[in-house]
Amino acid sequence: MESSVVSELEGTLSRDPDPFSYFMLVAFEASGLLRFALLLVFWPVIRLLDALGMEDVGLKLMIFVATVGVRESEIESVARAVLPKFYMDDIDMEAWRVFSSYDKRVVVTRTPRVMVERFVKEHLRADEVIGTELIVNRFGYATGLVDGDISSISRLVAKLFVDEEPSLGLGRPGSGSFNFLSLCKEEMHPPFHTEQIHPDHQILRPLPVIFHDGRLVKRPTPSTALLILLWMPLGIFIATIRIVVGLMLPMRAIPYMSRLFGGKIIVKGKPPPPVSGGNNGVLFVCTHRTLMDPVVLSTVLGRKIPAVTYSISRLSEILSPIPTVRLTRIREVDAEKIKRELGKGDLVVCPEGTTCREPFLLRFSALFAELTDQIVPVAMNYRVGFFHATTARGWKALDPVFFFMNPRPVYEVTFLNQLPVEATCSSGKSPHDVANYVQRILAATLGFECTNFTRKDKYRVLAGNDGTVSYISFVDQVKKVVSTFKPFFH
């Protein structure tokens, strides 16, 4: 007989019973800073309603403020690309041990189903998700209202299990109208202690979140959201100073000046000396964490090293303090470009082709291994406090701005030894073997895991496209910058 479990998401599978921060994420990522601030203003009212026993009213107010007038496609995009990372960070692994041990797994949630369905089905391996439905008008915009009532959750659970009661219900006692536990044969309440119930080797693991998007590093609880809002104007001012000073100073002076403005560059290993005249340059093969990787490398080396770019905006190329070499993705043409640049001197390449925030390395393109034996692997990593410096759904030209808006951005650069001849194609190794070897040693240096995912895999997950940048005019891009930061000046 098939065993079944029905579990509450908030406060059971996830540790935090309050979904407020997830609505803040929807407000920020799907709409913008003004709605983010507006929802925070309503937070005391929502808490008051909760204290008066009107949790359903407070929840509906959250839903309305966060979603009214937002395109359904934008909400779905945030649910696909942004929310899973924060849900995963909040998962109670002891609750997961119980949940994952049953054949049929159902999750019930107080939030609209669209916000959690992708995460719980793909990462928690749930079979069904029961929650309220956002009402969307015929133009594709959310009305801010939900279809049905929170109290209807129990009826939906009963309808799903017509023939037999669920074997187990996981949830908090006294959840008010959100009560489905009475429909189950057994109940379990947090906290969970399962070490002796389910052997570790029998437990499925949640599928890790490798790709995620969004600008916020921390889940915006009320206190964190207030801190972010207070920091934003100062952050923009500091970022402007950092960028202007960085463009004006010589490369050798930047590491010393960055400390005065709160930044830090940590260098490990010994970089190779500049090539002498008449020799081909060294190819620096870097992990790709942000758009700043080649710039930081040039800063550490004290000279401008050209960087190979796969697909960045024209504005980023214009503002880049180092030369960039745009590839065409036509293998023969790109190989000739890289050879020509190496004939002039050193060159930087990030063979992953795109950034990855999590401790994973994407598959390395083998093209670099075919073109030179002078390969120096460089492990790049960074730490930020408030804002991510990468995006798949947003505008990439703002990546450096968001990086420098962090209070104390830190970059770590680790130089590994140049590959010995026996580890290159000169010794008869295939380019793919060399690329995989470089990927492995860089992953080992950073404590990351190697994957076979590619750039296209990332953009299909996060943006629903192949990641190709459309070329719009410089004026249009400047207008987009102005519109992005316009709320700060009103």
Report the distance separating Cα 396 and Cα 338, nearest Å: 24
Element containing residue 109 per DSSP (H, E): strand 104-112
- Would you give the distance in Å from CA 447 to the centre of its chain? 18
One-letter identity of residue 78: V
Buried b (16+ CB within 10 A) or exposed e, 2-33: eebbbbbbbbbbbebebbbbbbbbbbbbbbeb
CB 415 within 8 A of CB 271: yes
Is the distance from CB of 456 to CB of 365 less than 8 angstroms? no
- Which residues contact residue 258 at a Cβ distance below 8 angstroms, ignoring those fewer than 6 apart? 242, 246, 264, 265
For the whole model, what pTM was predicted? 0.88
The H or E element containing residue 168 is strand 168-170
Burial state string for 336-350 with b = 16 or more CB within 10 A and e = fewer than 16: ebbeebbeebbbbbb
* pLDDT number for residue 314: 74
Q: Are 24 and 40 in contact (CB under 8 A)?
A: yes
Inter-residue contact 353 to 334 (CB < 8 Å): no
Cis ω on the peptide bond leading into residue 191 (within 30° of 0)?
yes
SS3 290: coil
First to last CA, the chain: 63
Residue 135: closest CA among 210, 75, 215, 203 = 75
State how far the Cα of 190 lies from the Cα of 206, in Å rounded to an integer: 19
Question: In angstroms, rounded to a whole number, what is the distance separating the alpha carbons of residues 309 and 258?
Answer: 25
- The per-residue pLDDT string of the chain (490 residues; one tens digit each, 9 = 90 and over) reads 689 999 999 999 999 999 999 999 999 999 999 999 999 999 999 999 999 988 889 999 999 999 999 999 999 999 999 999 999 999 999 999 999 999 999 999 999 999 999 999 999 999 999 999 999 999 999 999 998 766 678 888 888 888 888 999 998 876 544 678 888 999 898 888 765 444 554 556 789 999 999 999 999 999 999 999 999 999 999 999 998 888 888 888 888 888 888 889 999 999 988 876 667 889 999 999 998 999 999 999 989 999 998 777 777 777 788 999 988 888 899 999 999 999 999 999 999 999 999 999 999 999 999 999 999 999 999 999 999 999 988 888 889 899 999 999 999 999 999 999 999 999 999 999 999 999 999 999 999 999 999 999 999 999 877 655 444 443 444 444 444 444 433 3
**Domains of the chain in sequence order:** 4-202 (3.40.50.1000), 233-489 (no CATH)
Tokens of 93: 């692994």
Which DSSP letter does residue 490 get?
A: -
CA distance 126 to 131: 13
- Please report, for residues 33, 377, 487, the alpha-carbon distance to residue 483 in angstroms, rounded to integers and kept in the order given: 12, 40, 8
Choose among 81, 252, 57: nearest CA to 149: 57
By C-alpha distance, which of 380, 379, 366 is closest to 434?
Answer: 366
Q: CB neighbours (10 Å) of residue 391?
A: 20
Q: What token pair was written down for 462?
A: 């996060």
Closest CA to 351 of 438, 257, 292: 438
Half-sphere exposure of 253 (CA within 13 A, CB side): 8
pLDDT of residue 414: 97
- Interatomic CA distance for residues 146 and 63, integer angstroms: 8
Q: What pLDDT is stored for residue 393 in this prediction?
A: 85
Q: How far apart are CA 441 and CA 418, in angstroms?
A: 12
Tell me what pLDDT residue 468 has: 57
Strand 410-415 to 375-383 pairing? antiparallel
Query: Rounded CA gap, 181 and 171, in Å?
Result: 7
Measured CA distances, 369 to 83, 241, 351, 438 (Å): 37, 39, 10, 10
State the number of CA atoms in the 13 A half-sphere of 122 facing the CB: 18
DSSP string for residues in 335-352? HHHHHHHHHHS-EEE-TT
* Partners of 326 in the β-ladder: 309
The predicted pLDDT at position 250 comes to 85
What values do phi and psi take at 129, rounded to 5? -130, 130
